[in-house]
Structure 1
Amino acid sequence: MKVQVIYSSLSGQTKKVAQAIFDAVAAGDKTLHDLKDGEPALDGDVLLLGYWVDKGGPNAEMKAFLPKIQGKAVGIFCTLGYYADSSHAQKSLDAGIALVKEQNILLGSYVCNGALSESIIARFRKAGTSGPHSASPENELRWEILQSHPTQAELNLAAERFRERAYLYQKYRENGLAFSSIV
Structure 2
Amino acid sequence: MTTIEGKMNMKTQVLYKSRTGNTEKLAKAIFEAVPGQCKDIAPLEGQTDYEMGDIYFIGFWTDRGSASVEVLDYLGSLQGKKIALFGTCGMGNDLEYYKKIEENIRVFIEDDNEYLGAYICQGKMPISVREKYLSMKTPENTKMINAMLRNFDMAMLHPDTQDLEGAKAFVQKVFEDIRKEELQYE
Query: Do they fold alike, i.e. is TM over 0.5?
Result: yes
Which residue of 2 is the match for residue 68 of structure 1?
77
CA contact (8 A) 1:5 1:48 kept: yes
Q: Which structure: larger Rg?
A: 2
How many Å separate the matches in 2 of 1:167 and 1:37?
A: 31
Structure 1 residue 101: deviation in Å? 5.2
1:89-104 matched pairs, under 5 angstroms: 89-100=98-109, 102-104=111-113
TM-score where L is the length of structure 1? 0.83
**Secondary structure at the counterpart of residue 45 of structure 2:** helix
Structure 1 residue 16: deviation in Å? 0.5
Question: 2:158 aligned to 149, 152, 155, which one?
Answer: 149
1:76-91 matched pairs, under 5 angstroms: 76-91=85-100
Which residue of 1 is the match for residue 37 of structure 2?
28
Which residue of 2 is the match for residue 18 of structure 1?
27
Which residue of 1 is the match for residue 123 of structure 2?
114
Percent identity between matched residues is 26
**Secondary structure at the counterpart of residue 23 of structure 2:** helix
How many Å separate the matches in 1 of 2:102 and 2:95?
A: 11
**Secondary structure at the counterpart of residue 158 of structure 2:** coil
Structure 1 residue 27: deviation in Å? 2.5
Structure 1 residue 83: deviation in Å? 2.5
Are 1:165 and 2:178 an aligned pair? no
Name whichever of 35-44 and 61-70 sits farther off.
35-44
Which residue of 2 is the match for residue 181 of structure 1?
none
Q: In the comparison of the two structures, how many residue pairs are matched?
A: 175
Structure 2: runs of 5+ lacking an equivalent = 1-9
Structure 1 residue 87: deviation in Å? 2.7
Q: CA 1:163–1:102 in structure 2 vs 1: closer, same or farther (change >3 Å)?
A: same
Q: CA 1:27–1:108 in structure 2 vs 1: closer, same or farther (change >3 Å)?
A: farther
How many Å separate the matches in 2 of 1:176 and 1:42?
A: 29
How many Å separate the matches in 1 of 2:179 and 2:84?
A: 14
**Secondary structure at the counterpart of residue 136 of structure 1:** helix
How many Å separate the matches in 1 of 2:46 and 2:106?
A: 23
Name whichever of 149-158 and 117-126 sits farther off.
117-126
**Secondary structure at the counterpart of residue 153 of structure 1:** helix
Structure 1 residue 151: deviation in Å? 1.2
CA contact (8 A) 2:78 2:110 kept: no
Deviation per CA, 1:76-127, whole angstroms, max 9, x where unpaired? 111101224343221111111111152310122111111112344445555x
Structure 1 residue 66: deviation in Å? 1.1
How many Å separate the matches in 2 of 1:121 and 1:62?
A: 26
Which residue of 2 is the match for residue 129 of structure 1?
137
Which residue of 2 is the match for residue 48 of structure 1?
57
